[in-house]
């Protein structure tokens, strides 16, 4: 055996590749699961045993694999030739003896990730023999559970001091105990399907304030005291807030004091209205924020005006690279004649991706305002403007190409274009006017009549666009199919003539 295989760390890396879901070796070997290969490696020699077993038990689903190590329970869990999978029935089985508990725990120390489901909760009565303060998984790093992992009296079994990632699909009263005992917690995902009451928010907020090393956080609504704690965490990089289940609106939005969110780079919100996130932006700095994703259920123009104005005054404007804002419902009156959303985003010079799918995002947008905005985004690569209230295109081809010249790296564009007004003659335009980076053009539901002329404009001015996309349910879909066919013929002719 090569001496490199005597190094434990090298063996671990090799066995991790064996355990990978997309293993290249599987192309040349029979269809055998990775655990089978790892078990075979563990039986090969003493040198392979420890690293192979560590990888074999690294991730488990439920407690069945460990219970299967108990001689008495093995035939119950691994019944041969079962017609269909179902969870074994443990209701009439005696709890584990002291010796059987040692068999059960034999490999538990190797487990680093466990996934639990509600159906596994009946296992815990079998573990009553375990001492009260036993940590069943001393090396556990990730816990995924569809509910509270077990009754409170057995919670200590999962509270490993090494736990880094915890995913809970319900907010429970013992949450504070979990985060208090697991001081190394870095990634916390708390999901709630039902309404978030004031008591639930209080439990959640008190628990979050205990966490000192959070890097990633996904959670329902918090009170402002918890937000203040998070705003001063230097370890925090990613935050996702799902406020759609919030019963009552947060109070004292104008009387909050937040820290700078010093290293936060990604912020995502799902909310009913824009009030919460608007106040958050107005009361903090986010000096490292690069990615913001927001989805609103209701986005009337008055809220949109305050929200986009808050972004324009946002200190993070200088660092923002990606902005995605989505809403399909507006309500209220239409904006005045001087308002358009993207004019508020001109203070974002580092912008790479802008995706606005909301009412009024293109309100009163014209060639001049588009040119002014895109002149401020020299690094932008993807621009999508989908105004759910806009029915008439206002950007002509000439205005579009003037704006594109300001963004040499743009490769994706989705917006409504005035393809009826043919104001560009590609035969008279200088070659320097061509945009050679744009590859994907989506004209949404734009009207078109002179399909051949439009195809020639795209062929001449956007040489890297091979196909024009459009809204599939548009009444002008057939006309755009003609444009695509003309464009295909033009490109085919150019290939034939090039030699």
Q: Are 440 and 412 in contact (CB under 8 A)?
A: yes
DSSP 129: T
Q: Are 205 and 230 in contact (CB under 8 A)?
A: no
Q: What is the pLDDT of residue 32?
A: 46
- Tell me how far apart the 2 most distant CA atoms of the chain are, in Å: 90
Q: Residue 238 pairs with which residues in a beta bridge?
A: 216, 266
Q: N- to C-terminal Cα distance for the chain?
A: 59
Q: What is the pLDDT of residue 120?
A: 54
Task: Compute CA distances 126 → 57, 132, 393, whole Å.
Answer: 21, 14, 68
Q: What is the pLDDT of residue 330?
A: 63
Place of tokens 């671990």: 12
By CB atoms closer than 10 A (0-12, 13-18, 19+), residue 389 is middle
Cα–Cα distance between 120 and 117 in angstroms, integer?
6
Q: What is the pLDDT of residue 87?
A: 57
| Nearest Cα residue to 343 out of 314, 318, 368 | 368
Burial 236-263 (b: 16+ CB within 10 A, else e): bbbbebbbbbbeeebeeeeebebeebee
Cα–Cα distance between 193 and 245 in angstroms, integer?
7
Q: In terms of DSSP bridges, do strands 59-61 and 216-219 run parallel, antiparallel, or are they unpaired?
A: unpaired
Structure tokens at 168: 């809970």
Cα–Cα distance between 246 and 195 in angstroms, integer?
6
Q: What is the mean pLDDT of each run of 10 residues along the chain (499 residues)?
A: 68 67 43 64 76 84 86 78 55 85 88 76 76 84 73 75 88 82 92 72 90 93 88 95 68 71 93 83 88 87 84 87 86 67 89 91 88 95 88 90 95 94 90 91 92 95 93 85 94 73
Q: What is the pLDDT of residue 238?
A: 96
Structure tokens at 438: 């744009």
Q: What is the pLDDT of residue 424?
A: 92
State the Cα torsion 393-437-319-358 to the nearest 10°: 20
Cα–Cα distance between 283 and 80 in angstroms, integer?
62
Q: Are 390 and 419 in contact (CB under 8 A)?
A: no
pTM over 0.75: yes
DSSP 49: H
CA angle centred on 407, ends 406 and 411, rounded to 5°: 150
SS percent in the chain: helix, strand, coil, step 5: 35, 15, 50
Query: Coil, strand, or helix at residue 376?
Result: coil
Q: In terms of DSSP bridges, do strands 113-116 and 187-190 run parallel, antiparallel, or are they unpaired?
A: unpaired
Q: What is the pLDDT of residue 463?
A: 94
Residues 6+ apart with CB under 8 A from 400: 367, 370, 417
Structure tokens at 195: 């309404």
Task: Compute CA distances 392 → 208, 249, 362, whole Å.
Answer: 48, 36, 10
Cα–Cα distance between 389 and 340 in angstroms, integer?
13
Cα–Cα distance between 344 and 304 in angstroms, integer?
11
CA angle centred on 426, ends 366 and 430, rounded to 5°: 95
Cα–Cα distance between 164 and 339 in angstroms, integer?
47
The distance from CA 279 to its chain's CA centroid, rounded to whole angstroms, is 23
Q: What is the pLDDT of residue 81?
A: 44
For residue 77, give the H/E element and its range: helix 74-77
Q: What is the pLDDT of residue 193?
A: 62
Q: Is the dihedral of CA 182, 184, 189, 195 positive or negative?
A: positive
| Nearest Cα residue to 422 out of 461, 457, 463, 459 | 457
Query: Coil, strand, or helix at residue 361?
Result: coil
For residue 386, give the H/E element and its range: strand 382-386
């Amino acid at each position: 055996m090569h001496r490199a295989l005597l190094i434990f760390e090298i063996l671990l890396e090799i066995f991790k590749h064996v355990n990978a879901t997309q293993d290249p070796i599987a192309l040349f070997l029979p269809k055998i699961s990775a655990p089978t290969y790892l078990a075979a490696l563990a039986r090969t020699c003493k040198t392979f045993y420890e690293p192979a077993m560590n990888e074999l038990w690294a991730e488990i689903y439920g407690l069945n694999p460990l219970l299967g190590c108990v001689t008495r329970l093995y035939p119950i869990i691994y019944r041969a030739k079962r017609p269909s999978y179902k969870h074994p029935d443990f209701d009439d089985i005696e709890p584990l003896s002291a010796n059987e508990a040692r068999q059960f725990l034999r490999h538990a120390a190797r487990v680093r990730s466990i996934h639990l489901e509600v159906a596994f909760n009946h296992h815990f009565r079998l573990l009553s023999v375990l001492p009260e303060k036993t940590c069943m998984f001393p090396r556990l790093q990730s816990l995924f559970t569809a509910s509270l992992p077990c009754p409170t009296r057995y919670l200590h079994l999962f509270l490993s001091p090494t736990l880094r990632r915890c995913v809970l699909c319900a907010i429970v009263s013992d949450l504070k105990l979990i985060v208090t005992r697991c001081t190394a917690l870095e990634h916390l995902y708390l999901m709630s399907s039902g309404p978030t009451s004031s008591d639930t928010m209080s439990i959640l907020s008190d628990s979050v304030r205990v966490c000192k090393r959070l890097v990633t956080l996904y959670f329902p609504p918090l009170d402002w005291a918890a937000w203040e704690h998070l705003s001063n965490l230097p370890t925090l990089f990613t935050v996702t807030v799902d406020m759609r289940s919030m019963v009552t609106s947060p109070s004292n939005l104008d009387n909050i004091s937040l820290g700078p969110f010093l290293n936060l780079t990604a912020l995502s919100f799902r909310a009913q209205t824009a009030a919460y996130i608007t106040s958050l932006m107005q009361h903090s700095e986010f000096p490292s924020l690069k990615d913001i994703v927001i989805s609103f259920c209701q986005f009337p123009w008055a809220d949109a005006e305050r929200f986009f104005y808050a972004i324009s005054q946002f200190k993070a404007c200088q660092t923002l690279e990606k902005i995605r804002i989505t809403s399909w419902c507006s309500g209220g009156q239409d904006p005045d004649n001087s308002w358009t959303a993207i004019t508020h985003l001109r203070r974002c010079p580092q912008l790479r991706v802008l995706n606005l799918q909301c009412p009024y995002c293109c309100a009163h947008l014209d060639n001049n305002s588009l040119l002014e905005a895109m002149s401020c985004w020299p690094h932008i690569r993807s621009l999508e403007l989908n105004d759910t209230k806009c029915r008439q295109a206002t950007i002509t081809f000439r205005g579009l190409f003037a704006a594109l010249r300001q963004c040499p790296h743009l490769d994706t564009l989705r917006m409504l274009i005035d393809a009826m007004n043919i104001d560009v003659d590609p035969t008279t335009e200088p070659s320097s006017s061509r945009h050679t980076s744009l590859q994907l053009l989506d004209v949404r539901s734009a009207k078109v009549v002179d399909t051949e002329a439009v195809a020639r404009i795209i062929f001449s001015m956007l040489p890297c666009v091979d196909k024009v996309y459009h809204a599939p349910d548009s009444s002008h879909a057939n006309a755009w199919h003609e444009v695509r066919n003309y464009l295909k013929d033009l490109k085919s002719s150019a290939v034939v003539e090039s030699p």
